[in-house]
Structures are given as C-alpha cells and as structure tokens.
C-alpha cells in the first residue's frame, strides 16, 4: 500500500508539472504517513544525512569550475583547436563539433553547458556552410552526451555516493574510454554524412595560426589533466580534484584569457549556488524516496524475483538497458540515479556485475535520455538555441542515436574494453 501511494503520488505530481524534487519530496512525505514509527523528524534527518557527506563537495566544486569554463571563452578556443585537428576530414564542421564536445566534456561535465556553449557557435556556422539546421542541431545535441560521461561527471559522483563503497576515481577513469568511443562513433557518422552530402573543405590555416590555436585550446584541456592526473597519481581525492580544477579555471578565465571580469564573480557565484541548491535538494528528497523503498524491502524482493525469472546475466543487462533508456526519457539523471541505484545494486550482486560496470551503464543510458523527448533537458536547450521544432530533429537524430547505441551495447557486454584502465592504476580489483 505504501509503495503504491508513493508511486502514484510521484507520477501524478510529475504529470501536473510540479518540479521533480518537490514531487519526490511530497510523494515521500505522503507515503511516510503509513509507515509505523516514522515522523517528520525522521524525514528531515534522512535528508540532512544524505547531503552531509564530504564527497558531495566535489559536485559544488565541479559546478563552479564548469560555470567558469563555459562563460570564460573555453568553448570557443576548443572549437578553434578542433578545427586544426579534424577540420580536414569530410564533414569538417560536424567533426569539429564532436572533438570540441569531447574536450569540453572533460572540462565541464555538463551536457546542457555543451549544447548552449558549442551549439550557439556551431549551429549557425554549420547552417551558413551548407549543413541543414536539423542535422547541425542533432550532432551538437548527441555530442553533448559525452559531457556527463567523460570525467568530471556529477552523475558518477552521485552514483558513488548512493552506492556506498564505490570509488569515484575508478568511475572517472573508467568513463574516459566509453566517452571517447561515443565521440568516435559520431565522428564516423559525420564522415559518412560529409561524404554523401557535404564535401566542402575548410580553408587551410597557416602553421603559426595552427600552433596558436592548439596552445590556446590545450590550456583549457589541461583542466582534465589536473583532475585525472591528480586522482590517478594519488595527489588528491576526487573532491580535492574539484577544488584544484576550480582554482585553475578561475586563474585561466580571469587572468589568462581575461574573458571574465572580477566584477562578474558575484553573479557567477549566485548561478553556482542556484545550480547546487537544485542538485542538493534533489539528492535530499530522493534519498527519502529511496529509503522508503528500502524500508519496504523492495530492492530485495525485486532481486529475488528477477533472479528466479531471469537466469542469464546477458538477458538481465539487455532488460536493464531498455528500462534505463525509458526512465531517462522521463526523469533527469540525478534523481533517477538516487531512486534506482538502491534497487539495482542487489540485482547486480546477484548476477556478479561489478559496481563500476553498473555505474557506467546507468550513467550512459541516462545521458542518452537527455537527448530524447518528452523530458530531455539537453534536447530542449538545443531546440531553443537552434529555434527549431521538435518534430524537425527526429529524423537526423535517429541515425546518430543508433551509432551511440552500438557503443552502449559494447560497453554493456564487453566491459574489459574500459575497466582495464582503472585496474591498471589500482583503482579497482
């Protein structure tokens, strides 16, 4: 009865347009009325405990670094550097979008930031160069999914926090290869599109200009070097890596690039506070939701029933992918992770799935959900930037999603392709 009220209230409140953090919180409070011995103090205590943890400081630091990078001219410089690296390939501007997004994902970790920053530059440029606005928007949107996958990734931090004994560092390092694979798959699609429809080449740049662009762009990419290099070498934790990235981003954007004035910092800090408040409220309210599920023993019941019905690990992984893709269409990444991970962990244990492997599958599926209707956050930002109707983007979007789905299946069924990297650094067994 409690679970029925919890689920029905959440679906109803979400359907009427209530913000998801409030929908989760209100549904959880209604459900607790039926739980014996649970009062308002227990709910508040659960919420406070869920966010009163040191690793979540990494979210605050990475959000600050990401805002600085997205507003500090990094995207423009990464696009110019990408032109040097892949501008000679067929489908040159689409290739530039893929490579610039790959680098930008290692700087900000946000799909929405990638779409708004890179899309505002590249969609008009691609349309002017002869690409259709539909394809330009689709490639910018799908390339942005690398943001939550290539470290730093807020989704991975939240997964590690909810799962408990999972290394953020291992998740970060494991996410590098799948993120690059997604980028390469989109580059392959751009290559084919360029060969078929757009063979116009960009003008050749002088050597001096190439060197200048690469030097300028690598200063931004060095943020990812600081994060991964510091974590892998053991110099600092993921949280400390976020602090180091914030300091570097501040120095780079304010004193080197000089794109951000000191007088703009209060506005930037306020923007970061709003973003972090939304994330922390989601974590706090979702933690009560997942606690009720655990209190009602739902994860164990699901694990036992699934184990009896599904004997094959591979069948379970296929069902899991389909389920997560559907969930990603309706629920954003952070609340979906907090609500689903407690239920999925016992299932993963039953089938002998490593939690780092599970974390990558969950994050990638939910990142894809950012591009799909009806609730895809990045999708709506891309449509707004491009001033495009949703039905116009479906046709060019489907082939790109198909390429990304191939990568998802490889990540799901061949984890050895990427888990060797964190293992080689002693970050996982």
**pLDDT tens-place string over residues 25-61:** 888 877 777 777 666 677 788 888 888 877 788 888 8
Q: Is the per-residue pLDDT at 106 higher than 80? A: no
In a domain, 15, yes or no: no
User: What's residue 116's pLDDT?
Assistant: 85
User: pLDDT tens, 356-411?
Assistant: 999 999 999 999 998 987 778 888 889 888 988 888 899 999 999 999 999 999 99
User: pLDDT tens, 165-217?
Assistant: 888 889 999 999 999 999 999 999 999 998 888 777 778 888 899 999 999 88
In a domain, 16, yes or no: no
- Mean residue pLDDT of the chain comes to 86
User: What's residue 267's pLDDT?
Assistant: 92
Model confidence at 304, pLDDT cuts 50, 70, 90, reads: low
User: What's residue 63's pLDDT?
Assistant: 87
- pTM (2 decimals)? 0.88
Q: Is the per-residue pLDDT at 141 higher than 90? A: yes
In a domain, 342, yes or no: yes
In a domain, 7, yes or no: no
In a domain, 338, yes or no: yes
Phi-psi region of 22 (alpha: psi -120 to 50; beta: other; left: phi over 0): alpha
In a domain, 158, yes or no: yes
Q: Is the per-residue pLDDT at 254 higher than 80? A: yes
User: What's residue 33's pLDDT?
Assistant: 75
Q: Are 155 and 369 in contact (CB under 8 A)?
A: no
In a domain, 12, yes or no: no
User: What's residue 306's pLDDT?
Assistant: 63
Of 187, 200, 127, nearest to 392 by C-alpha is 127
User: What's residue 143's pLDDT?
Assistant: 95
Domain that holds residue 385: 55-424
User: What's residue 307's pLDDT?
Assistant: 59
Q: Are 338 and 287 in contact (CB under 8 A)?
A: yes
Q: Considering its fold, how many domains does the chain have in total?
A: 1
Residues 6+ apart with CB under 8 A from 183: 98, 99, 101, 102, 143, 146
Q: Are 333 and 148 in contact (CB under 8 A)?
A: yes
Q: Are 159 and 341 in contact (CB under 8 A)?
A: yes
The pair of structure tokens assigned to 92 is 């040159």
In a domain, 6, yes or no: no
- Sign of the alpha-carbon torsion through 359, 360, 366, 370: positive
């Amino acid at each position: 009865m409690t679970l029925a009220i919890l689920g029905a209230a959440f679906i109803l409140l979400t359907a009427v347009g209530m913000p998801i953090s409030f929908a989760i919180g209100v549904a959880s409070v209604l459900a607790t009325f039926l739980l014996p011995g649970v009062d308002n103090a227990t709910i508040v205590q659960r919420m406070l405990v869920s966010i009163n943890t040191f690793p979540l400081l990494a979210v605050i630091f990475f959000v600050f670094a990401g805002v600085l990078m997205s507003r500090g001219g990094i995207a423009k410089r990464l696009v110019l550097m990408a032109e040097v690296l892949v501008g000679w390939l067929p489908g040159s501007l689409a290739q530039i979008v893929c490579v610039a997004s790959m680098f930008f994902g290692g700087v900000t970790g946000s799909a929405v930031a990638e779409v708004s920053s890179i899309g505002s530059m590249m969609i008009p440029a691609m349309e002017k160069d002869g690409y259709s606005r539909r394809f330009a928007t689709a490639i910018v949107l799908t390339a942005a999914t690398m943001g939550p996958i290539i470290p730093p990734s807020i989704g991975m931090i939240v997964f590690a926090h909810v799962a408990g004994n999972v290394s953020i560092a291992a998740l970060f390092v494991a996410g590098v290869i799948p993120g690059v694979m997604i980028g390469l798959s989109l580059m392959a699609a751009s290559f084919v599109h360029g060969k078929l429809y757009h063979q116009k080449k960009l003008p050749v740049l002088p050597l001096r200009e190439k060197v200048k662009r690469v030097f300028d762009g690598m200063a931004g990419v060095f943020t990812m070097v600081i994060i991964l290099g510091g974590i892998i070498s053991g110099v600092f934790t993921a949280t400390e890596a976020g602090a180091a990235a914030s300091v570097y981003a501040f120095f780079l954007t304010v004193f080197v690039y000089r794109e951000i004035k000191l007088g703009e910092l209060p506005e930037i800090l306020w923007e970061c506070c709003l973003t972090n408040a939304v994330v922390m409220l989601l974590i706090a309210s979702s933690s009560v939701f997942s606690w009720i599920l655990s209190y009602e023993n739902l994860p164990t019941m699901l694990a036992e029933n699934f184990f009896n019905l599904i004997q094959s690990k591979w069948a379970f992984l296929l069902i899991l992918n389909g389920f997560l893709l559907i969930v990603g269409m309706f629920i954003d990444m952070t609340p979906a992770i907090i609500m689903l991970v407690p239920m999925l962990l016992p299932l993963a244990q039953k089938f002998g799935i490593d939690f780092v492997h599970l974390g990558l599958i969950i994050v990638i599926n939910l990142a894809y959900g950012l591009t799909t209707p009806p609730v895809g956050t990045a999708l709506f930002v891309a449509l707004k930037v491009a001033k495009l109707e949703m039905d116009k983007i479906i046709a060019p979007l489907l082939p790109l999603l198909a390429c990304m789905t191939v990568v998802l299946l490889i990540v799901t069924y061949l984890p050895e392709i990427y888990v060797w990297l964190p293992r080689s650094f002693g970050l996982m067994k």
